[in-house]
Amino acid sequence: MKCKLVLHSSTCPVSLPLGFRYTHQITFFADFQAILAYGLSQIHTKSLKGWRWIFIVEGALTIFCAIIARFFIVDFPQLATFLKPDEKARAIERLNKDRGDGEHDEITREKVFKHLSDWKLWGFALIVIHPRDKD
């Protein structure tokens, strides 16, 4: 199936239009973050240097955004009070089409062991925790 590179298209996989939006947001916020970090690095007080202010301010912004987002982000479409029933059905259908888990189901021991027995999971874990040379 050919897929046109547009933001909204029913012929494209669900993850493609969301990926475009996410990429643009990352670019915007990365630019903003660089300007903010430069300005904060210029602050010097007796107790804290500029690089510490970067961590304090950006950490506080992250915590603030996480608290606000907690009230707006829903786990599954079934729990969204702002969606109409037909919109919920369409969202579940798109999730099932894209990744196959649009229906909310319980976590069981079998599911956990199934995913823990996947060799790719352990391969990526080894890549992440691999010790690096300390030069």
At 17 the pLDDT is 65
Give the per-residue pLDDT at 1: 46
Distance CA 89, CA 50 (A): 50
- Whether residue 90 lies inside any domain: the answer is yes
Looking at residue 102, its pLDDT comes to 72
Query: What is the reported pLDDT for 15?
Result: 55
Low-confidence ranges of the chain (pLDDT < 70): 1-22, 24-25, 132-135
On whether residue 81 sits in a domain, the answer given is yes
Query: Residue 84 corresponds to which tokens in the numbers above?
Result: 């109409």
Do the domain assignments include residue 119? yes
Distance CA 93, CA 14 (A): 10
* Total domains present in the chain: 1
Q: Does residue 134 form part of some domain?
A: no
Print the domain residue range for 112: 74-126
The string of DSSP letters for 21-64 reads HHHHHHHHHHHHHHHHHHHHHT---SS--HHHHHHHHHHHHHHH
Query: Model-level pTM?
Result: 0.50
Is 111 a member of any domain? yes
